[in-house]
Amino acid sequence: MTDFASVALTVALVCETVLIAMLLWSILVPSRRLWPPQRVNWLSQLMVWLPTLAVFSSAILVGSAGWNALDWPLWLRWSVGLPLIMAGNAVVWPAALGIGLDATSGAEAELKTDGFYRWSRNPQYVADMGILVGWAILSANPAALIIATGGVVAFALAPFAEEPWLEEIYGAPYRTYRKRTPRFSGFQADRTLTTLCSVRSRRARSRLRQGADPRHGSARQPACPPGDTGQIDLRCGG
């Protein structure tokens, strides 16, 4: 590794350490959070954008300086790495422009739930992770892999620092949005739970129609204690 690449790696690791520390502090002490900033101004934007840009720039520099140092096969690098980079850029820029630079920098704005935000509550972070990982694979450089790992950790932590603030600002609309939309990507857990509840309810209704002992064809309802209406609570967990 050249001296220039070593400096770039050091800068990236310092920036990622600062970002991760800032996010952990904001998660653990939300009343004194650093992200999202209490007040959005040029200084708060500089504190966020400068280390973020430094991480991406450093990854590009070290990856270019030690191109394919790991000697990975050509098909892996170009069939996996390049599509991740392209897909990440195709998502991150429209998503960022969709909510605006101020909102991307942590300012209060209208709750965005359409476009890419329909499928993920944090499409920008998912896209940024994809770009870093894609570049690390394409460049096949160990230093780029290290930078990508730190970047993924930082981007994965960011939503946990933001969510209490988002709920405080937007209230019920955000809680509804959070319930139906995954934090990153994939299927929301509550969808699977809803399906299980639906199956359970159908089975309970079937037992109710068949009576206490369906093997004997009995249609009788079990005796109800005084004050009991004989109704069965079919809600999930009931």
Work out the pLDDT band at 102, boundaries 50, 70, 90. confident
Does 200 score more than 70 pLDDT? no
Tell me the Cα Rg of the chain. Answer: 25
> Is the separation of the CB atoms in 80 and 137 below 8 Å?
yes
* 196 three-class SS: helix
Q: What is the per-residue pLDDT for 153? A: 98
Work out the pLDDT band at 203, boundaries 50, 70, 90. low
What is the reported pTM?
0.77
CA–CA dist 116, 95 (Å, integer): 6
Work out the pLDDT band at 15, boundaries 50, 70, 90. very high
CA–CA dist 113, 195 (Å, integer): 24
Higher pLDDT among residues 168 and 209, named by residue = 168
Higher pLDDT among residues 106 and 130, named by residue = 130
Does 237 score more than 80 pLDDT? no
> Which residue, 49, 59, 61, is CA-closest to 19?
49
Q: What is the per-residue pLDDT for 155? A: 97
CA–CA dist 215, 61 (Å, integer): 73
| Structure tokens given for 35 | 């992200």
| Structure tokens given for 6 | 């070593």
> Which residue, 54, 123, 114, 122, is CA-closest to 92?
123
Higher pLDDT among residues 6 and 207, named by residue = 6
Q: What confidence tens digit (pLDDT) does each residue in 18-54 have? A: 999 999 999 999 999 999 998 888 888 888 899 999 9
> Is the alpha carbon torsion for 91, 94, 98, 101 positive or negative?
positive
Does 1 score more than 80 pLDDT? no
Q: What is the mean pLDDT of the chain?
A: 84
